[in-house]
Structures are given as structure tokens and as C-alpha cells.
Structure 1
Amino acid sequence: MAGNMKVGIGGLGAIGLTLARAITDGRLPGLELGAVSARNVEKAQDNLAALGASAPVVSLEALAEICDVVVECAPASVFQTVAEAAISKGRIFVPVSIGALLNHMELVEKAQETGARLVLPTGALIGLDAVRAAAEGMIESVTLETRKPPRGLGGAPYLVENDISVEGLTEAKKVFEGNARAAAKGFPANVNVAAALSLAGIGPDQTSVEIWADPSVTRNTHTIRVEADSARFSMTIENIPTEENPKTGKITALSVIATLRRLKAPLTAGT
């Protein structure tokens, strides 16, 4: 696309604000901030003014009316609202709540009809390029082990529904074992990485997930293990949580920035 692409940001929390700053500061050549959406309009306007950005604050649906690219970094509960609007308009849609996408895979078929593209950032994980490559052959198994400080898992629906407490732990406690689809449903604010991994590899029903509340860790830690006909590999990443939200790693926002940079970059590295 010739000229600048307008980026709309749905949600102006820790991730959205970091992204808005990067675009406004000129760190992403070829991109400009077209609009943002936020629950607290006045606060969003103040934050944008502090950045020196003049983008309007609009509804989630209106982002697709104004912008070429729509980034979703809002609560998973509003995922469908922003996603359907962006895909209906044929936009490039970049979701952070990738776990929510598993419940709305009809959007992929809709994108084929409208010309929209769903571009999923790696987020807080590692090695999706290797997983994608291995998936071109035969993958036997993919396992994700997530360990988080207990406070980073507090309030997760799966823990509440199953009356699992992570308070006062003195040793690691496995709080979930199942597939990626169930993990994304039970921990919507914690393991979008499970959804991203499953979509890069063998799907949400075949991807195995373990989640641990571990008082000995201070960083959100994810280990993936893959057995394939082309390679066997395991990788671990330890993410520093954001100050605003211990459930989200600092690298998540940077991953979205890197994803957007690829949209206009003359050279990209990685599968």
C-alpha cells in the first residue's frame, strides 16, 4: 500500500499506550495513528495529548471505518465487537486476545470473503517461526508449560469455577492440565500464548498445556516442547510483567510493535 497506513488501537491500556507512543514517536515508518478506542474517553484523550498525538477517540466499531489496520488490545469480552467490524471492512486485524479467536474461527472464513487479513503477533511466547516451519511437515506433539507468580493467575475463571486457591503458596502448584482450547477459555487473561502456539502448529485440541502457580518465579515463564519429523526442540522465555498488569509481560506490546513494523518493512527476518 502506497503512503502511510492508518492504525487504529482498540484499548489504551499498557499495551495500547505503548503502541500509540511508538507510532507517534515515528518508530514505525509508514504507519500513522488513525484513531483509538477506550472505555474512559477523557483519560484516553489526556494520554494522547501527553504523547503529542491528535488521533480521535472513537467506538470500537468505528476504528475499522477510519483505519487500514485495527489492533485489538482490549478485554477479551469485547473481542467479537472489534474483530467483526475490522474483518467486515476488509482491514488488517491484529488481535492480542488470541485466545478469544478460538471461539470465533468463523472470522477466518469471513476474512477470505472480504479480503481482510488476521495477523497474529507472537506475543509473550518464543519460537513460533520454528513451530510454523515444523507444521509444514509432521508434528507429533506440542506442549506448553506456563509458570506464573500466583498473583498473576488470580481471578482466572477456571480457578474460580473449580474453587482452586493460589493464595499463600509455598511451593509450585499445577492448577491446569489440558488442551489449548480449554486453557484459553479458563485463563483468558493469562495464556493467549497457548492459542497462538496452537494456531501456529497442530491446533487447539491437540496442543497440550500445563499451568503452574509458582511462588518461586518472579517472571511469567513459558516453555514449549515440540516433537516433529523435522526437528525436536524446546525453548523457554521468562517475561518481565508490566507494572500496570502482572498478567501481561512487557514483551507483549513490543511483539505487536514488531508485527506492525513488518507490514511496511522492505526486509523482514524469520519465517
Structure 2
Amino acid sequence: MTIKSPNVRVAVAGLGAIGSKVVKALDEGIDGLVLTAVSVQNVEKHRAWLSGLTASPKILPIEALAEAADIVVECAPSTLVRSIVAPVVARGKCAVVLSVGALLENDDLIGLAKENGGQIMVPTGALIGLDAVTAAAVGTIHSVQMVTRKPVGGLAGAPYIVENEIDIERITEPLKIFDGSAREAAKGFPANLNVAVALSLAGIGADRTRVQIWADPTVTRNMHRIEVESDSARFSMSIENIPSENPRTGLITALSVIACLRKLRASLRVGT
């Protein structure tokens, strides 16, 4: 997608570990883009920080972002994805979605975007090599498997952990706690496994993409290894992400969103 009109307006929903970095980058300047609005649940918590920006954006409720911007970047809890994205794509605008797992339960948003000339963009995020997976999917992909290893603290509170009464604080050695589809992983670990859904959307879908999750007290980084078998190539990829201040999120995720935004007006774009 290349946006040619000048001064493309960007809004950001959520000012957590990702959203705050995206806002800061926009405030410092991304060619052709201007930060116009943000939405945040606790306004007072962030008001002083926002007032310190070069050009303070409007603070709006999420339902107002679609009118205030041409592109809305979703950096919010997955439960808010529909209320953020639907008004945007219904107006033929662009939504950048980080909580990709929520798209599996709101897949009609894709149809809504198509119907109205809107677009949903999913940045590479904390993974590596989605371009290769997307290219292989033009042909035939036979299998995709992802193995994720996370520090124990990064998995705390996940619905799957709670429902299965897994006492992760007592884990003293690497333990495989989940083995299933990307769709099942997204339900059980909504704050952790957006990467698995992004991988599945790039490739063979959420039901055929296989995911293992390991709780590993011996690691300090979020680690993902992907193996793909296709008719055009066999390849494997691995990445070790340094966690942000939110242990569920890697530092590179915010950088991926910033890179995605920079590509919109770039004279040279590298990658599929």
C-alpha cells in the first residue's frame, strides 16, 4: 500500500509498551505522516507524558479515532479490536492491527474492509521471515510449525494457564505446556501468541499451523523457531526477542510497527 496524499493522519489506540513507542516515533517525525489523536483507557496516567510531545495529539475515545485519522494503529487489549477496527475499515481507511489473534474471532472485519475499500495491515511484529512464508503460500505449503519458548513470568495469567491450573511459579526446568493449532494457541494465550496467528495468516491458516509453547526458566528472551515445508522451499527461522517493560511483548514489536509506517511513504521499499 502506498499512500500519496500529503499529511496522512495517524491515530494510535493504546499507550502501553508498543503504543507509546509508536507515538514517540510519529512525534519525532515519519515522512508524510502526522500524529493527530490517541486513545487510552487511563487518560490522567498519560496526560503529562502526552503534553510533553512536540505536538500534543487529541485524546479521543476509540470510537472517534476513525474520523480523526486515515490510519489507526491498534495497540490495545484484544477485547477492543473490533470496536477500534470496524469503524476504520467501514470508512475505507487503514487499520494496523497488533492483536492479530482477535481477527480469528472477528474475521468478518476482513470482509467489511473489502466491501468498503478499507485495509487491515498486520506488521511482522516479533517474528522473522513472514515475507518468505507469504511467498511460499503463492505455491503450496505442506506444513508450518512454530516452537515458542518464553520466560515463565511472560506466561503468567494466560487463560490456558489459569484454566488448566498450571502453577508456573513452580516450574524449575523447561516444560512444554501447550501443543496444538495456532487458533487454539490464540485463545489460550491471547497476550502472548499474536505471532502464531500472524504466521498462520501469512501461510496455511490457523487450524493447520502447529504451535508448541514451552515455559522455560532458563531463558530471558522470548524465543520463536519456525519450520516450513513447501513445494518451493524448505526453511527454518529463529529469533530471540528481548522483552519490553511488558514481559509478554518483545522490544522489536514496536520497531516493526514503526518500520511498517515508514514504508507507507518510502521511496524505496524492501521486502514483499
TM-score normalised to structure 1 length:
0.97
Two-structure CA RMSD over aligned residues (Å): 0.9
Deviations 1:240-263 (A, max 9, x none): 0012x1000000000000111111
Partner of 1:93: 95
Q: Residues 88-167 of structure 1 correspond to what in structure 2 (within 5 A)?
A: 88-167=90-169
By how many angstroms is 1:50 displaced?
2.0
The answer to whether the 8 Å contact 1:180/1:205 transfers is yes
Matched, 1:237 2:242: no
CA–CA distance in structure 1, aligned partners of residues 205 and 49 of structure 2? 39
| Aligned-partner Cα distance in 2 for 1:226–1:261 | 29
- Confirm whether residue 20 of structure 1 aligns to residue 29 of structure 2: no
Letter in 2 for 1:20: V
Give the deviation of 1:162 after TM superposition.
Answer: 1.2
Once the two structures are overlaid, the 10-residue window that deviates more, 225-234 or 85-94, is 85-94
User: Which residue type is aligned with residue 215 of structure 1?
Assistant: P
CA distance in 2, matches of 1:76, 1:155: 15
2:158 and 2:56 map into 1 onto residues whose CA distance is 36
Which runs of no fewer than 5 residues in structure 1 stay unpaired? Answer: none
* Pairing of 1:1-271 with structure 2 (within 5 A): 1-26=4-29, 28-243=30-245, 245-271=246-272
Alignment check: 8 A CA contact 1:68 1:92 kept: yes
The residue identity in structure 2 corresponding to 1:50 is G
Q: How many residues align?
A: 269
- Read off the aligned partner of 2:45 and give its amino acid letter: K
Separation in 2, partners of 1:41, 1:170: 40
Compute the displacement of 1:53 (Å): 2.9
Give the whole-Å Cα distance in 2 for the aligned partners of 1:152 and 1:234: 24
Moved segments of 4+, more than 6 Å: none
List alignment gaps of at least 5 residues for structure 2. Answer: none
CA displacement 1:186-209 (0-9 Å, x = unmatched): 100001000000000000000000
Where 2:62 maps in the other structure, the secondary structure is coil
1:148 Cα deviation from its structure 2 partner:
0.2
Q: Secondary structure at the match of 2:166?
A: coil
Q: Distance in 1 between matches of 2:122 and 2:84?
A: 15
Separation in 2, partners of 1:2, 1:77: 32
Contact 1:174 1:210 in 2 (8 A): yes
User: CA separation in 2, counterparts of 1:174 and 1:98?
Assistant: 23
**2: distance between equivalents of 1:53 and 1:147?**
40
What does the per-residue CA deviation read over 1:172-222, in whole Å, with 9 as the maximum and x for residues that have no partner?
111111000010111000010000000000000000000000011100000
Residues 44 and 57, structure 1, Cα contact 8 Å, conserved in 2: no
